[in-house]
Structure 1
Amino acid sequence: MDQRISFVTLAVRDLDAARRFYLDGLGWTASLDVPGDVLMIQAGEHLVLSLWVQEHFEAEVGEVRRGPGLAPITLAHNVPTRAEVDAVLATARAAGAEPVGEAVEREWGGYTGYFGDPDGYRWEVAFNPGPIGQVVLP
């Protein structure tokens, strides 16, 4: 098996809200949009973010457990400067993102902040000056 991830699929409660947030709010572009079913967004050269209606997700994958706390996953959007971290967080909040935390300097030398999408999935916006941080930049 090749060492890569092709899709990140998130079960969403309200596909229309997800569409408004990701396409209208963040300004991303759909690669595939099937109303009432799935929204797919090419998020990298070989990576797709798939937002799938929860009922359809469960029919194929199994029951989703939701309850107190957060989904045990974060998604990250890395940028090349601290200023871009602040700009992306401002864009997400203007799009209706739940503000999770202002960006702060981290002990490992980076600068990161978080927002939540309409389903509460946490996105980290990060400036990572280290070698691994440079690998993920376009």
Structure 2
Amino acid sequence: MNSDFPSAEEYASEKARFGALDVLDIQALQREATAPYSNQVMLDFNGNCMRMAVFKGDYRWHMHPSSDEIFLVVEGELHIEFDAAPERVLRPWQAITVPAGTVHRTRAVGRTVNLTFEQQAAETVFVGPPAGG
């Protein structure tokens, strides 16, 4: 397992970097992200959160049992692979909802920035690749 990625517990326990009424400059924040993988909670709202992920390459196969996840690509190209559906490709300002319980993994082609929206402290279950994948 890649040590650059957080554990499920670390992922779920992360606190928002900004509070209500704070103005976020998404372009400046994405320029600040220089690590090979960065995925931070930026805001909390109504029991949900907005994360900003900046990375390249493959993330792990996983699912969120009780939270939908919305992906909005800001920069780059994000491929989302599924265990039981065709791969989807998102480019800047395209979005998709991945329903709760859907096994998936993201793959960034080059440096990719995406915003995700999900339940605060959403449970993440890491799984092995699907059969044949």
TM-score, length basis structure 1: 0.22
| Structure with the bigger percentage of strand | 2
TM-score, length basis structure 2: 0.23
The structure having more radius of gyration, on CA atoms, is: 1
Larger RCO: 1 or 2 (CA < 8 Å, sep 6+)? 2
